Homo-oligomer: A and B are copies of this chain.
Amino acid sequence: MDADIIRESLESSGLRCTPQRYAVMAFLMERNSHPTAAEIFDAVNRVDPRCSRATTYNNLRDLVQAGLVREVAVEGRGARFEAIQTRHHHFICDQCGAVEDLDWYDVPKPAGAALGKRVFRDCELIFRGLCQQCAKRKPKS
């Protein structure tokens, strides 16, 4: 049962474990997808404790600030989120926009000279192409 894990991670970040906040965090942890705020709002309201649109956005903001959730860099209109788990890269489908996880592997950093006076924190690899479903549907160009 990761109910306690969620509760503790919220509280150790200085966030109260409210039903709404818990529902948002639990939803993100039990999915390996990259849902939009609208999808999260719909999902957590399909079960009981009502969570308003503002609260969904507020909680996503708080969870990102607390470092428990990240906003994923994608092109397209709606922000997408994921719970922070093991490091991984992303695959984005040209056709349907699906964002899928790929296992992490180390990536060479740019040369110090290229970074200049910037402060490096992290890096992430984005692959593009066709996801399995779209590849199947489009046999040859």
A90 and B128 CA atoms in complex are apart in Å by: 15
Considering the complex, give the chain B residue whose CB is closest to the CB of A106: B108
State whether A127 touches B122 (Cβ < 8 A).
Answer: yes
The answer, yes or no, to whether A46 is at the interface (CB within 8 Å) is no
8 Å CB contact of A124 from B118, B121, B126: B126
Return the CB mask of A48-79 against B: 1 if under 8 Å, else 0. 00000000000000000000000111111101
Considering the complex, give the chain B residue whose CB is closest to the CB of A132: B117
8 Å CB contact of A125 from B72, B100, B107, B115: B107
8 Å CB contact of A110 from B105, B117, B122, B132: B105
The answer, yes or no, to whether A114 is at the interface (CB within 8 Å) is yes
A97 and B102 CA atoms in complex are apart in Å by: 25
* B residues near A126, Cβ cutoff 8 Å: 73, 123-126
A75 and B77 CA atoms in complex are apart in Å by: 10
8 Å CB contact of A79 from B75, B89, B108: B75
The answer, yes or no, to whether A17 is at the interface (CB within 8 Å) is no
Min CB distance A118 to B, Å, is 6
The answer, yes or no, to whether A103 is at the interface (CB within 8 Å) is yes
8 Å CB contact of A119 from B92, B107, B129: B129
* B residues near A107, Cβ cutoff 8 Å: 107-108, 125
* The 4 A-B residue pairs with the shortest CB-CB distance in the complex, in nearest-first order: A121-B129, A119-B130, A71-B75, A117-B132
